[in-house]
A and B are shown apart, each in its own frame.
Chain A
Amino acid sequence: MAALMLRFCCAGRRWTLSCVDGAFRQGRGPLTGSMSSRIRGQRSVAQHSFTTAQKLKKGEREWAAVVGLEIHAQISSNSKLFSGSQVHFAAPPNSLVSFFDASLPGTLPVLNRRCVEAAVMTGLALNCHINKKSLFDRKHYFYADLPAGYQITQQRLPIAVNGSLAYGVCIRSQHSQVANKTVRIKQIQLEQDSGKSLHDDLRAQTLIDLNRAGVGLLEVVLEPDMSCGEEAAMAVRELQLILQALGTSQANMAEGQLRVDANISVHHPGEPWGIRTEVKNLNSAKFLAKAIDYEIQRQINELESGGEILNETRSFDYKLGCTVSMRDKEGKQDYRFMPEPNLPPLLLFDSESLPAGADPQQVINIDQLREHLPELPSQTREKLMLQYGLRPEYSFTLLNEVGLLEFFHNVMKDTKAKPHTVTNWVLNRFLGSLKQHSLAVSESPVTPSALAELLDLLDGRAISSSAAKQVFQLLWRSPGKTPAQIVSEQKLELLQDREALEQLCRATLEGHAHVVMDLKKGNPRAINKLIGLVCKAALNRADPTLIKEILERQLSS
C-alpha cells in the first residue's frame, strides 16, 4: 500500500500550523453556513502533504499516516429502502413514518427496487464487481432513534465489492497542478438510515424524529489508501460528483445526505501500521480535512511524547478545532450480527443469466444499467480538455465548484470569445469574486449572458482588457445593467482617434525621458512600462497593441 509519507521537522507542530493556516486561507463561510459555502470551503483544505521536503533533524524519524473512510450516502429515491414512506428532507417531524419504520410488531421489510438500482449504478461507476447474490443482515444495538433495535445492512455479502475511485489532488508547490490518485473501494452495501434524536437539554428530554428512519443508504467503504486530510477530502468530493452525476444520491453534506467516518493511524515508514482511531460524523466538507489532519497530528504528538493510541471512537469538535474521545461503549459494542430472515437473498442478473420470461419488474439487469450510465465526472473533464484545450486542473475546478461548469457552458454558448479567454475569466475573475463575497455560483450577480456579452466586447476590441475588468466590477455592483450600457455610460470604449493617441504617446515619451533612456540602454521591458503609462493616461480606453505600434514608430523616428 502506497501510503504517502509525511515528514515533519519539529514534532509536527509546524505541520499543524500550516494546516490551520491553509484551512483558513480561503474559508470564509460561517461555521454553520449554507451548503454552498461548505462546498466552496472544500477548495480551501490544507495542502500540507506536499509541503514535505523539510529536512529532518538528526534523530528524528519520519511519520506516515494512513486514512480510510466509511461514507454513508443517502440514496435519492421516492420511498424508503424497505417501506413505502416518502423520503423528503425537512418534512414536519414524524410525518414520513410507516408502520414498518416505527417497527410495529408484525411488519416486514420489502426491498425498494430503486435503491438496489442506485447501488448497482454506483458500484458500476466505481469499477466494482457487482455480486449477483447479496445478503441482508441485522446489526443490533439499542438506540432511541433505531426503533427495531437493529439496522438492516449487508455485512456478510454486500452488493458490490473491489472497486476503485480515481481522484485528483492539487499540488500547491507546483502551481496548482493536479496529481492523480486512486483509492480502492472495499465494498458498497445497502443499509437503513436511523431516525434522529433531538436532545432538549433544558427539559432533559430526547425527542425522536423517525422521518429519516429506514431511508436507504449506500455505505461506501474506502480502503486506507489515503494519507492526509486533503486526499480524503478530494476523494470524497469526487465520490460526491459521481453520485450526483448518477443521480443516486444528492450527496448534500449540509442536509446529511453524505456523512463520513474516517479511520486514522500513523506509523514510521517500514514499520507496521499503528493503532487506529475512528473519527465519526464528519458531516461537513469544510471540517473533513481539518479533522483528519488534526487527528494525525494528535496521534504523532501522543506517540512522540511517549503516549499510546487507543482504539477508540472520536468526534470532531468544530468549535475547538480538535477531535475528542466519545467515551461511549459504541466502539466496543458487539453488534450480534444475524442474517435478516425476512428478506430472501438479493439476486441480480446480467443479459446472459436473465431468466427467460422473467417479469421485468421483478428482475434487475446489470448490463442494462451499465448501458444507461450517464457521463461521469472524469469523462466530463476529459471532454473539456479535448474540446476546449483546458488544463487538467481547470477541468477539476470547473466540476468541483457547484454550478460552475453549467455557468461556463452558458457563457461559451453565448460568446464568440475563445475558450481560453472564457476559462480565464470564469476561473479567475468570476470565481475569485464569488470567493471574495462568499457567494455560490447560483447567487452570482453576474449572469452568464452578461459575462458573454462583456467577453464579446473584449473579443471585438471594443474595449480594452483593463476596461473589461472595470466593466465586470460595475456589473457585479449593478446587476441590472448590460455591459454595453456600462461601457457607454462610463465611456470605456476603445479610443479610435489615431491622432489623439499619437499625441498621448508623444506626451508620454516626453514626460518620461528616463524610461526612454532605459529602453535605449537595452532594457526591453521598458516598452511595457511606457505602454502602461499611455493606457493609464487614456483612462484604459486605449488598445495596448496599437499603442505599442505607435510608440515603437515614434521612438525609431
Chain B
Amino acid sequence: MTFLFSFFSLDHCGSRLGTKTMLGRSLREVSAALKQGQITPTELCQKCLSLIKKTKFLNAYITVSEEVALKQAEESERRYKKGHSLGNLDGIPVAIKDNFSTSGIKTTCASNMLKDYIPPYNATVVQKLLDQGAILMGKTNLDEFAMGSGSTDGAFGPVKNPWSYSKQHKAKRKEKPHAESEDPDWLIAGGSSGGSAAAVSAFTCFAALGSDTGGSTRNPAAHCGVVGFKPSYGLVSRHGLIPLVNSMDVPGILTRCVDDAAIVLGVLAGHDPKDSTTVQDPFKPFTLPTLTDVSKLRVGIPKEYLVPELSREVQSLWSKAADLFESEGAKVIEVSLPHTSYSIVCYHVLCTAEVASNMARFDGLEYGHRCNIDLSTEAMYAATRREGFNDVVRGRILSGNYFLLKENYENYFVKAQKVRRLIANDFVNVFNSGVDVLLTPTTLGEAVPYKEFIKEDNRTRSAQDDIFTQAANMAGLPAVSVPVALSNQGLPVGLQLIGPAFSDQQLLTVARWFEKQIHFPVIQLQEIMDDFSSVSENEKLPSISLKQ
C-alpha cells in the first residue's frame, strides 16, 4: 500500500520553505514572512492582484475589490511598521464567496437578481476577518445562490478548475488519444464554492470563505486539491451569509493546509449575538496540537458509503488511507449509518422548502433586480422573479412551495424532518459506540470536464455529488476534506473526516496528522504563471503594474 503514497511529493504545508515562492506558502508561513519583514502587505497584495488578473480565465472571482484591498494592505503595512500587527491574519489576502454580505462591495450570489446589489453591512465572518487585518481580494464565483455542485450554474459563467492547466494533469492527459486540442476539456471546479476553491488553489489568496449546505465547501476543495472545512453547525455565525438552507448552512473555510483552516476557524468561531443559532459557550482559539500517537484513535468506515458509483480509484485511495491509520496504530472499524440512502431525497425536500421560503424576499421592492412591468404588484413580482432567477432556483422554489402546501406538508416536510432526525441519530449512535472520527470519500471521483458535467442537469448532479458530504449537514457535524493524492489523470482526490458535533478541534488535529502522512503535491501552474514561478523569496520582487 505504501507504494501508492510514494508518488506524493514532499512539498506540503510547512516544508521546504526555502525554495517555495511567496504565494505558494501556507497562511502561517506567509504570516511569518510578513512579521519578519520579508515582504510587506502591499507587496503581497499586489502579487495576488496580479495573479488574479493572470488567472482571470478561471472565472474564480466575480468582483475583485482591488481598491479596497490595496487600502487595507496600506493600513496593514502601517501597523506592521509600528509593530502593532493584529495577529496571524494581518495583511493576509483572503477571498470571500459571493454569498457573504460585504459592506460597500457587490454581493451577487451569482444571480441576476442581485447583480448590482451592494449591501450596507458585513457578514459577521467577514467583519471578523477584517478586524484581524485580513485583506479582502474579492468575491468568488459560485452556482446561483449556492445551488449546485459544479460552480457551473451562475449568472457570471462557470468556474474553471486550475488543475485543468496544471503540469500534472496535462502530462497525464496527453496520454489520452483524444485530448490534443487546446483547452476544450477544462474541468469543473466543483461547487458551489468553486470560486473560493479555485482562488486558493491558484494561489490568488491564502484562505477563502465558502459556504457549506450539502458539501459546497468540501466538494470543490476535493476537486481543486485544497483543504475544505465545514465547522459544526452553531460554531460559526451565519449572520450575513445569504441563506440556502438556514438549518444546514455553515460558513466553510478553504485553505492550503489543515493548520491554516484551524487559524481561520479560531478567528471566525464563537457566539454571535446576531445569530441566535450560534452556541453560547465561549470559544477559545486553539493551536492544533501535533498528534504523534494515533493508537488511541478509533476510525469508523461507514459501510453504506461504499456505493457502486464510487470510482475505483477513489475507493482504493480510501482503503489505503484506512490502512494508513491502521498501520500507525489506530483502530479502524467498519460502522453502519443505516439511513444514509435516504439522505439525498430528504435533503431535497428540506432544501427546496427552505429555498422557497428564503427566496420569497426577492420581490424587487427593497433591493435587487426589478422588472419594468408595473401593471400590478403581482405582475411586477412575477416578472422580477422570472428575470432574476435561473431555472435551477425557480425549480427549487416551485418544488419547495409544493412540499409546503397544507395538503403536502405532513407527507413531505414533516416526514423529511423525521428522516433527518434518523440520519442525525445514526451519527450519534456511531460516535457513542466509541468511534472518534469517520473516514469517507469526499466525492465519487475526480473533477470531470465541463462538457461531461453539463450532460446531466443540476438536480441530478447535486444529488450524485452531495452523497458523501450532505449527511454531515443534516446532523450539523464538523467535516473536513483533505486532499490525499492525484488520480491517474493527475487530478486531486480528497477524503473526508467527520467528527462528533463540536469536536472541531479534535477533528482538525486528526486531519492535520493525516495530512502530514500523505504529502499531497503542490499544483504546478508554471506555464500560466511564468513570472510568478520565477519569483522565489530570495529574489528581488518585481514591481507589478496594476493598471494594465
Which residues of A are interface residues toward B (Cβ below 8 A)? 99, 102-111, 138, 140, 142, 144, 147-150, 206, 208, 334, 336-338, 341-344, 362
Contact = CB atoms under 8 A, between A and B. Distances in A.
A208 B363 CA distance: 13
Nearest to B145: A105
Contacts of B404: 140, 336-338
B114 A105 contact: yes
B123 interface: yes
Contacts of A147: 361, 365-366
A139 B353 CA distance: 13
B363 A342 contact: no
9 contacts: A105-B107, A105-B109, A149-B361, A208-B365, A336-B405, A338-B353, A341-B277, A341-B354, A344-B276
B406 interface: yes
B238 A108 contact: yes
B381 interface: yes
Given A148-B360, A338-B354, A342-B246, A104 B119 contact: yes
Given A338-B353, A344-B277, A206 B377 contact: yes
Interface string B495-521: 000000000000000000000000000
A26 B359 CA distance: 52
Given A149-B360, A149-B361, A107 B405 contact: no
B272 to A, nearest CB: 9
B450 to A, nearest CB: 29
A396 B277 CA distance: 47
Interface in B450-481: none
Nearest to A343: B276
A341 B247 contact: yes
B239 interface: yes
Contacts of A104: 101, 119-121, 366-367
Interface string B405-419: 110010001000000
B241 interface: yes
A191 to B, nearest CB: 16
A102 B363 CA distance: 12
Contacts of B101: 104-106
Nearest to A143: B377
B277 A342 contact: yes
A362 B276 CA distance: 12
B21 interface: no
A202 to B, nearest CB: 15
Interface of A is mostly: loop
A106 B243 contact: yes
A79 to B, nearest CB: 13
Contacts of A106: 100-101, 119, 123, 238-243
A451 B275 CA distance: 58
A206 B377 CA distance: 9
Interface of B: 100-101, 107, 109, 114, 117, 119-121, 123, 238-243, 245-247, 273-277, 280, 353-354, 356-357, 359-363, 365-367, 377-378, 381, 401, 404-406, 409, 413
Contacts of A110: 273-274, 276
Contact of A105 (B242, B274, B354, B365): B242
Contacts of B381: 142
Contacts of A142: 360, 363, 378, 381
Contacts of A206: 377
B131 to A, nearest CB: 18
- Most chain B CB inside 10 Å of its own CB: which residue of A105, A148, A150, A362: A105
Contacts of B353: 338
Contacts, number: 103
Contacts of B405: 334, 336
B472 to A, nearest CB: 17
7 residue pairs, one from A and one from B, having the closest CB atoms: A149-B360, A336-B404, A341-B246, A341-B247, A105-B242, A106-B240, A103-B361
Determine which residue in B243, B245, B401 has the highest number of CB atoms from chain A within 10 A of its CB, and name it.
Answer: B243
- Indicate the member of A107, A108, A208, A338 with the most B CB atoms within 10 Å: A108
B409 A337 contact: yes
A338 B245 CA distance: 13
Contacts of B406: 334, 336-337
A533 B194 CA distance: 105
Given A103-B366, A104-B121, A150 B357 contact: yes
B377 A148 contact: no
A206 B359 CA distance: 22
Contact of A144 (B120, B238, B280, B365): B365
A343 B123 CA distance: 18
B501 to A, nearest CB: 15
Contacts of B362: 105
A109 B358 CA distance: 13
A105 B413 contact: no
Given A142-B363, A147-B365, A208-B365, A108 B119 contact: no
Given A138-B357, A338-B413, A341-B245, 12 more contacts: A104-B121, A105-B361, A105-B362, A105-B367, A106-B119, A106-B243, A108-B275, A147-B365, A147-B366, A338-B354, A341-B354, A342-B277
B357 A108 contact: no
A108 B277 CA distance: 10
Nearest to A208: B365
Contact of B366 (A102, A342, A343): A102
A469 B294 CA distance: 100
B269 to A, nearest CB: 17
Contact of A336 (B109, B377, B401): B401
B380 to A, nearest CB: 9
A109 B409 CA distance: 24
B121 A149 contact: no
Nearest to A103: B361
A147 B120 CA distance: 17
A362 B366 contact: no
Nearest to B382: A142
A206 B363 CA distance: 15
A390 B20 CA distance: 95
A344 B413 CA distance: 18
Counting chain A CB atoms within 10 Å of each CB, the highest count among B274, B357, B381, B404 belongs to B357
A88 to B, nearest CB: 21
Contacts of B247: 341
A142 B364 CA distance: 12
A532 B357 CA distance: 79
Contacts of B119: 104-106
Contact of B377 (A103, A105, A144): A144
A108 B274 contact: yes
A457 B275 CA distance: 67
A176 B277 CA distance: 56
Nearest to B273: A110
B357 A140 contact: yes
A108 B362 CA distance: 16
A313 B544 CA distance: 69
Contact of B361 (A108, A148, A342): A148
Residue with the greatest number of chain B CB neighbours at <10 A, chosen from A103, A111, A341: A341
Contacts of A105: 101, 107, 109, 114, 117, 119, 242-243, 361-362, 367
A5 to B, nearest CB: 35
Contacts of A334: 405-406
A452 B120 CA distance: 61
Contacts of A138: 357
B386 to A, nearest CB: 14
Nearest to B241: A106
A106 B98 CA distance: 12
A109 B240 CA distance: 12
Contacts of A109: 276
B239 A107 contact: yes
A111 B274 CA distance: 10
B184 to A, nearest CB: 37
B178 to A, nearest CB: 44
A343 B357 CA distance: 15
Contacts of A337: 404, 406, 409
Nearest to B385: A142
Nearest to A342: B246
